[in-house]
Structure 1
Amino acid sequence: MVKLKGLIAILGWMLIVAPASASRVCATDDLGEKVCLDRPATRIAALSPGATELAWAAGAGDQVVAVVAYSDYPPAAREVTSVGSHTRMDMERLLQLRPDLVIGWVTGNPSEQLATLKKVGIPVFSIEPRSFEAVSHTIERLSVLAGTETEGFAEAEHFRQGIAGLRTQFENADPVSVFYQVWDEPLMTVNGEHLIGEMIQLCGGANVFGHLDRLVPRISAEAVVAADPEAILAGGMGEENRHWLARWQNFPSLTATARDNLFFIPPSLVQRPTPRMLVGTRLFCDKLEVARDRRSDGVHL
């Protein structure tokens, strides 16, 4: 890692004090810190794939100059310079791109690297949306910092209304016990406080591990068998990789397996807190509807 003195040299351009102007913008991030800019950001670094999507959703895609690995949506994001992974950025490369705003990930980015960015004078806006409403609010706050309020607030409201419509549609749906597999090795799921937990609840699902304390708890296959969910939904290591579901075929006594309620969900649609969760939630709800229909159809495969 480049020493702090070297970073400051790279950022000499930032040490010039600019006068405050009427275009000064401020927003409070998810750490409760107020971030203020003398003018809307024009050179944004998004340090997670989700942050990249949210920047575009806020109408600020043209202002993004740096992303990290797996920032693949929208397609235009693939053309932006990558500065490493969300767990380890190339700080020298990042600073050479002269960002005037960094969108950080509270629990995903190394805290010491974010602290270094702040120390050399770069504003860091830390995000971690943990509810559907928080996704909309994050888009709105980013659009304020980027000066793209018209587009950003419209996108936030579109997402908000779409989720509200789904909530109304499924508010009286018969419960379906659900296991959502967020990772394979080690086997991991989500609890009821997680955003995906909110998705499960909205669709009329009952998360069999919703009571656990950890947001993303590790579990065992034996625990899944004991819980005997009616439906199992999983993503995978890619948008078309369904192999995580194959292991459950080895447990024919599971209700989910016996009824063929083993459903693949493209992970980027549910595991990134972005407006595409509206598409993912619709898909999730549709899968639980299939599970409900198979009760009456007597499907036991």
Structure 2
Amino acid sequence: MKPYVLSAAVAVCVSLSASLCATQAFAAITVKDDAGNSVVLEKPAQRIVSLAPHATELIFAAGGGDRIVGTVGYSDYPAAALKIPRVGDHRQIDLERVIALKPDLLVVWLHGSSERQLDSLRKLGIPFFYNEPKKLADIPDSISRLGKLMGTERQAEQIADEERARLAQLQKQYGNRPLVRTFYQVWGKPIYTVNGSHIISDMLHLCGGVNIFGSLGVTAPTVSTEAVLLENPEAMITGERKTTQGLEIWKQYPDLLAVKRDNLFSIDADLLNRAGPRLIDGATFVCEKLELARSRRVDGR
């Protein structure tokens, strides 16, 4: 009887161990998104629909570009993103096309009129990961969390650590430099800017810049020409696009400090307008431009 009992006990242990291993192999993945919601997947995501260009860039950075089965207009980086089928843009999403792709994860950005359509997708039970970095440090954090959702943690953490190191270097180099009062122009007609809660303001802060409209209550407010002239910024920065009314509109005001010192700086819009890894490239350029503005001061003022 004893050998039989022992064998039975061993068999039970082996069975329990196998069950435990299977449970561990397919343990649910849980991460928090930027809305504070828990995103739960039974297994790593294999079919992802990205509903924002910056999200597409983050997914590629996290090692999951080949898992994106659908995305939206302007998802044009990296080059491989151009080959991904489109399911709409920031104004409207083709819900039937999204459903037909059978995604196991949606990465979304809740802006634009397409936001209303997402409610219909939620009812289908497709997991949502809401992503909206508010600080530059949120970018590598987003890469890490997406890597966990896709089971690509090793690559994702490597890239995330590299981005954190780049930010730390910029902070070390520019964080204690003399402040530069800066106007950031999103659009020129009407004049749009950003307030202190926008990620662009965090970029300016990193580079030793001060957003002259940081205290406004609206994230992307319109401001008047008179308001800008009254603030008299030392530097002006915009994301350069052919369709954008650029900083040339300010050259008619020669007494404006930024104009007087030739501190009108245009930077590639894709490096400033998307909260993906390339925004850290944009931050490098912004820091360099603000340092140039410091060099043009008279007697250090």
Distance in 1 (CA, whole Å) between partners of 2:237 and 2:127 is: 39
Matches of residues 112-151 of structure 1 in structure 2 within 5 Å? 112-151=116-155
TM-score using structure 1 length: 0.88
The DSSP-based 3-state class of the residue aligned with 1:102 is strand
Match of 1:287 in 2: 289
Counterpart contact for 1:99–1:122, Cα < 8 Å: yes
Match of 2:4 in 1: none
Distance in 1 (CA, whole Å) between partners of 2:158 and 2:186 is: 31
Distance in 2 (CA, whole Å) between partners of 1:53 and 1:263 is: 25
Task: Choose from 187, 190, 199 the match for 1:186.
Answer: 190
Distance in 1 (CA, whole Å) between partners of 2:209 and 2:39 is: 38
Counterpart contact for 2:186–2:192, Cα < 8 Å: yes
Counterpart contact for 2:184–2:237, Cα < 8 Å: yes
Deviation at 1:185, TM superposition (A): 2.8
Distance in 1 (CA, whole Å) between partners of 2:188 and 2:100 is: 38
Deviation at 1:210, TM superposition (A): 1.1
Counterpart contact for 2:188–2:247, Cα < 8 Å: no
Deviation at 1:109, TM superposition (A): 6.3
Distance in 2 (CA, whole Å) between partners of 1:242 and 1:107 is: 20
Distance in 1 (CA, whole Å) between partners of 2:113 and 2:144 is: 22
Match of 2:84 in 1: 80
Deviation at 1:151, TM superposition (A): 0.7
Distance in 2 (CA, whole Å) between partners of 1:98 and 1:223 is: 50
Deviation at 1:297, TM superposition (A): 9.1
| CA distance 1:244–1:46, shift in 2 (3 Å) | same
Counterpart contact for 1:23–1:40, Cα < 8 Å: no
Consecutive unaligned residues in structure 1, runs of 5 or more:
1-18
Deviation at 1:23, TM superposition (A): 4.3
Matches of residues 1-301 of structure 1 in structure 2 within 5 Å? 22-108=26-112, 110-237=114-241, 243-296=245-298
Residue-pair matches, total = 278
CA RMSD of aligned residues (A): 1.9
Distance in 2 (CA, whole Å) between partners of 1:217 and 1:207 is: 13
Moved over 6 A (4+): none
Distance in 2 (CA, whole Å) between partners of 1:36 and 1:109 is: 26
Residues 67-117 of structure 1: per-residue CA shift (max 9 Å, x gap): 101011111101100111022111111111111110010334633322211
The DSSP-based 3-state class of the residue aligned with 2:118 is helix
Distance in 2 (CA, whole Å) between partners of 1:146 and 1:132 is: 22
Q: Give the share of equivalent positions with the same residue, in percent.
A: 44
Deviation at 1:273, TM superposition (A): 1.0
The DSSP-based 3-state class of the residue aligned with 1:190 is coil
Consecutive unaligned residues in structure 2, runs of 5 or more:
1-21
Match of 2:7 in 1: none
Residues 34-88 of structure 1: per-residue CA shift (max 9 Å, x gap): 1111111111111010111111111110101111010111111011001110221
